[in-house]
Amino acid sequence: MIKKVICLVLLGSLIFSCNGSAPVDPCCSEPCQNRGLCVSKGLDAYECDCTRTGYYGENCTTPELSTWIRSIVKPKPNTVHYLLTHFQWIWDIINNISFLRNALMRYVLTSRANLVDSPPTYNADYHYKSWEAYSNLSYYTRTLPPLPKHCLSMGATSLPDVKQVVQKVLLRQKFIPDPQGTSLMFAFFAQHFTHQFFKSDFKKGPAFTKSLGHGVDLSHIYGDTLEKQHKLRLFKDGKLKYQVLDGEVYPPLVKDIQVEMHYPPHIREEFRFAVGHEAFGLVPGLMMYATIWLREHNRVCDILKQEHPTWDDERLFQTARLILIGETIKIVIEDYVQHLSGYNLKLKFDPELLFGESFQYQNRIASEFNTLYHWHPLMPDTFQIQDQFFTHSQFLFNNSIVAQYGIGNLVESFSKQQAGRISGGRNLPAGVQVMATKILEHSRETRYQSFNAYRKRFNMEPYTSFEELTGDKELASDLKSLYGDVNSVELYTGLLVEKPRHNAVFGETMVEMGAPFSLKGLLGNPICSPQYWMPSTFGGKVGFDIVNTASLRKLVCLNVKGPCPFVSFKVPEDKVYNLADISLNSTASQEGDVNPTVLLKERTSEL
């Protein structure tokens, strides 16, 4: 069979196919720069809409005066990051001067959030503005419009085989620990927190989401439907259902409340815990957090009941949920984002900082944000709990670990075990390589633009060579053999192979692209609006104080029996080591000894 070869000849602004068929849309060559929007005019002309881009001219390439001045005086992202992560003595002063700290925090929030379009503009089926792209909540939104189906990418040849990409530049050769000292406590928090809004609906396709709340709604605690919520609720004093094991509260069992959970057939009934997210039985780290939040909800209900003895079950439940949403956002900003940023500026959760700004209290989850947040390199090759070691297969679906060791011991063990480095390439665990191939396939199916296109969208210079991208000659050579042109590198690949910042878990693009999505989603939550952010929303001063004093340590310490364990998103200095060389203990529990690759093939839509 003779392969049909399609070639393109560019004649001015008009593109013809070589076989004499109809001309192609001139906008396919992406002539408009600096976020200018291309509108074709017939088959032989186009115009660029440069409105509010800060540029003008035929292709939006001539900067306005204010844009030119700003480009000269505004420091590069890496310069800003260096300033924020060095000069500790200066930041100690700033952190103790309220108006300076508030002013800087306000700038961080507004400058990041302004990079996210609100209201949403595109989805996978509409590369132009439409009411459908705005109103249909079943889609993930898109930050950059998808490449139109009738266009061919002008900067790329055919893309490499996805399995080859994973095996040559992404797959782990040897565990690379995160030099920032990130702990597994952080890794599992990231996984449990984000899967309340990253829930792709693959029955419809990778462009669709089942999480219609598009943000922090704690559906992973309360269920994503009213039916599931009602099955999880006790309907007494606002509380959620639970069971008591060894004097401590744990989630109820599937057999007792009949909610959908994903467990393999061999898992015994007494370890089939039921929580808000159907996939949280996957690993003990997820069930640990689910148990902590269950206990926190019921603890808050007890406080509200004492403060408001006349309130009915419904009001206690609804108010407790708002309080837990507030606690979550505060912990994410002041503990979680604080750690991953590495900033010496002490981050602050204070919605009132934005009350004088133009800010929209709504959010839509972007498909690119979902792709960006696949941080599987965080996972080590083995998991240590006290003096016991577990392989991936022994760890998967093993809730016996949760019941046997207890929440306090899990917290301390995960806080002392180092996670892997995310950026830098070749640190993806073998057990998730099937998932990585699916991510690349879905990115192509929904027609993502290139990694460099996203760098330009988030005000970064595009990379001009593979070695500049990776900082590693061998990795650059392998990447070039796959993609040929650095402008052809895909978003997911680029994020994982990009050279990390100095002593950091991430590269530049992961931070500069991820931070706007994160902060817009957190501060765009309704509870942060002037209409909600007041004591009465949270049951008065007592509930408001719970939100305003929340921290990771407090969340754990108030919900475990006995002394508070060591809890941190960063491992102690004496625990920074590589687990790859540790021999496994042959007596490890076999309760969850299953094939991770087989199980994950069926669950790529979740984790």
- Take residue 367 and report the two structure tokens written for it: 């498909």
Q: Has residue 601 got a pLDDT over 90?
A: no
Residue type, 200: S
Report helix angle 284-307 to 313-331, nearest 10. Answer: 130
Average model confidence (pLDDT) for the chain? Answer: 90
Count of helices and strands (H, E) across the chain: 25, 10
- Take residue 57 and report the two structure tokens written for it: 């001219």
- For the beta carbon of residue 344, count every other beta carbon within 10 angstroms: 17
Closest CA to 589 of 399, 406, 378, 412: 399
Q: Has residue 11 got a pLDDT over 80?
A: no
Give CA–CA dist 524/214, Å, rounded: 11
Give CA–CA dist 327/309, Å, rounded: 23
Q: Has residue 2 got a pLDDT over 90?
A: no
Q: Has residue 590 got a pLDDT over 60?
A: no
Q: Has residue 607 got a pLDDT over 50?
A: no
Q: Which of 373, 405, 463, 492 is catalytic?
A: 373
Q: Has residue 598 got a pLDDT over 50?
A: no
Judged by DSSP in three states, 497 sits in helix
Q: Has residue 152 got a pLDDT over 70?
A: no
Judged by DSSP in three states, 123 sits in strand
Closest CA to 7 of 149, 159, 161, 154: 154
- Over residues 408-463, the pLDDT tens digits come to 999 999 999 999 999 999 999 999 999 999 999 999 999 999 999 999 999 999 99
H runs (alpha helix) in 56-147: 65-73, 77-85, 88-95, 98-113, 131-135
H runs (alpha helix) in 210-283: 219-222, 226-232, 254-257
Closest CA to 448 of 155, 148, 214: 148
Give CA–CA dist 531/335, Å, rounded: 26
By percentage, how much of the chain surpasses pLDDT 70? 90
pTM of the model: 0.90
Per-residue pLDDT, 597: 38
Give CA–CA dist 532/319, Å, rounded: 12
Band of the pLDDT at 577, cuts 50, 70, 90? low
Q: Which of 81, 127, 195, 442 is catalytic?
A: 195
Judged by DSSP in three states, 364 sits in coil
Per-residue pLDDT, 44: 83
Give CA–CA dist 223/474, Å, rounded: 46
First to last CA, the chain: 41
Q: Is 82 a catalytic residue?
A: no
Range from 1-5, 90-94, 497-501 carrying the lowest mean pLDDT: 1-5
Q: Has residue 12 got a pLDDT over 90?
A: no
Sign of CA dihedral 325, 333, 511, 104: positive
- Which of the 8 DSSP states describes residue 471? S
Q: Has residue 157 got a pLDDT over 90?
A: no
β-bridge partners, 16: 9
By percentage, how much of the chain surpasses pLDDT 90? 84
- Over residues 349-363, the pLDDT tens digits come to 999 999 998 898 999
- Over residues 101-127, the pLDDT tens digits come to 999 999 999 999 999 999 999 999 999
Residue in this structure with the two tokens 């976020």, named with its chain if needed: 35
Band of the pLDDT at 473, cuts 50, 70, 90? very high
Q: Is 214 a catalytic residue?
A: no
- For the beta carbon of residue 543, count every other beta carbon within 10 angstroms: 23
Give CA–CA dist 305/290, Å, rounded: 23
Give CA–CA dist 233/294, Å, rounded: 11
Per-residue pLDDT, 149: 85
Q: Has residue 335 got a pLDDT over 60?
A: yes
Please report, to the nearest 10 degrees, the dihedral formed by the alpha carbons of residues 549, 554, 560, 564 taken in order: -150
Residue in this structure with the two tokens 């992961």, named with its chain if needed: 510
More confident residue, 174 or 600: 174
Please provide residue 315's backbone torsions phi and psi, each rounded to the nearest 5 degrees: -70, -40
According to DSSP, the β-strands at 8-11 and 14-17 are antiparallel
Non-local CB neighbours of 405 within 8 Å, separated by 6+ positions: 385, 386, 413
Per-position b or e across 499-527, b if 16+ CB within 10 A of its CB: bbbeebbbbbbbbbbbbbbbbbbbbbbbb
Judged by DSSP in three states, 183 sits in strand
- Over residues 168-206, the pLDDT tens digits come to 999 999 999 999 999 999 999 999 999 999 999 999 999
- Over residues 516-552, the pLDDT tens digits come to 999 999 999 999 999 999 999 999 999 999 999 999 9
Judged by DSSP in three states, 200 sits in strand
More confident residue, 281 or 604: 281
Closest CA to 501 of 512, 492, 493: 512
Please provide residue 393's backbone torsions phi and psi, each rounded to the nearest 5 degrees: -65, -35
CA distances (Å), 328 to each of 229, 297, 319, 413, 508, in order?
Answer: 19, 12, 14, 22, 26
CA distances (Å), 557 to each of 31, 123, 570, in order?
Answer: 57, 43, 17
Per-residue pLDDT, 578: 47
